[in-house]
């Protein structure tokens, strides 16, 4: 465990600005907001080009962050927070959307490549490693080339809005589980497909 006062930095990826607030690409931000409410943490202080808040989650001291540098250049902000707070990269947990997973699916992974996600790619390059856990929330599963930009930056559909609240709670529980019980146990419990919500992801 590092000398940092924080056990984890939980960073949700998204785009600042009201026009992006309720878009699929901002699911990372929305999960941070839900975690803040669930755990009584105010994410309002500006630090390292991010809005941050600190508090206790699952018995651990955590720093919640929403980088304000826009999605594709999230890395410098996240890296800055790690360095300033002496948090090891392995204690970084990133929450993001994932175009190649169906809406409402959730996948926890202990590490791995960015998989074409420019926000994750920026974090990996800035941190200098990809061995940190992440929670990815599916938003479509369709063709990135054909309609990717329209999907990630478009507004939630009426049906998605009805399901959003449950998804944010489920994702928040997954993050809290990772902090309390570790990545492997949380993968077993929370990884799920879009259809048949009790089924695990492969």
Looking at residue 194, its pLDDT comes to 56
Rounded distance, CA 158 to CA 1, Å?
44
Looking at residue 81, its pLDDT comes to 98
pLDDT in tens, 102-113: 999 999 999 999
Q: Going by DSSP bridges, is the β-strand pair 92-98/60-67 parallel, antiparallel, or unpaired?
A: unpaired
Please state, in angstroms and as integers, the Cα–Cα distance from residue 126 to each residue in 66, 73, 87, 94, following that order.
16, 9, 14, 13
Query: Among candidates 111, 125, 118, which has minimal Cα distance to 96?
Result: 118
Is the confidence at residue 170, as pLDDT, over 50? yes
Looking at residue 162, its pLDDT comes to 93
Rounded distance, CA 34 to CA 164, Å?
11
Rounded distance, CA 132 to CA 199, Å?
24
| Whether residue 25 lies in the annotated active site | yes
Looking at residue 202, its pLDDT comes to 39
Looking at residue 192, its pLDDT comes to 82
Mean of the per-residue pLDDT values of the chain: 90
Q: Report whether CATH 3.90.850.10 matches the domain 8-190.
A: no
Looking at residue 150, its pLDDT comes to 67
60 vs 151, more confident: 60
Q: Going by DSSP bridges, is the β-strand pair 92-98/134-138 parallel, antiparallel, or unpaired?
A: parallel
149 vs 35, more confident: 35
41 vs 152, more confident: 41
- The domains of the chain are located at 8-190
Is the confidence at residue 82, as pLDDT, over 50? yes
Provide the whole-model pTM.
0.91
Please report the sign of the dihedral spanned by the C-alpha atoms of residue 115, residue 120, residue 123, residue 126: positive
Residue of 25, 79, 117, 140 marked active site: 25
Is the confidence at residue 177, as pLDDT, over 60? yes
């Amino acid at each position: 465990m590092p000398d940092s006062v924080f056990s984890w930095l939980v960073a949700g990826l998204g785009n600042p600005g009201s026009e992006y607030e309720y878009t699929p690409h901002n699911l990372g931000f929305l999960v941070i907001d839900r975690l803040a409410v669930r755990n009584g943490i105010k994410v309002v202080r500006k630090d390292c080009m991010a809005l941050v808040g600190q508090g206790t989650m699952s018995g651990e001291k955590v720093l919640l962050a929403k980088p304000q540098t826009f999605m594709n250049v999230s890395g410098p902000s996240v890296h800055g927070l790690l360095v300033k707070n002496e948090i090891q990269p392995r204690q970084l947990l990133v929450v993001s959307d994932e175009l190649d997973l169906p809406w409402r699916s959730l996948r926890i992974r202990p590490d791995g490549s960015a998989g074409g996600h420019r926000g994750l790619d920026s974090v990996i390059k800035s941190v200098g490693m990809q061995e940190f856990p992440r929670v990815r929330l599916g938003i479509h599963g369709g063709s990135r080339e054909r309609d990717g930009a329209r999907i990630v930056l478009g507004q939630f559909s009426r049906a998605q809005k009805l399901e959003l609240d449950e998804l944010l709670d489920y994702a928040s529980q997954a993050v809290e589980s990772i902090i309390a019980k570790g990545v492997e146990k949380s993968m077993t419990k929370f990884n799920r497909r879009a259809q048949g919500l009790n089924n695990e992801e492969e």
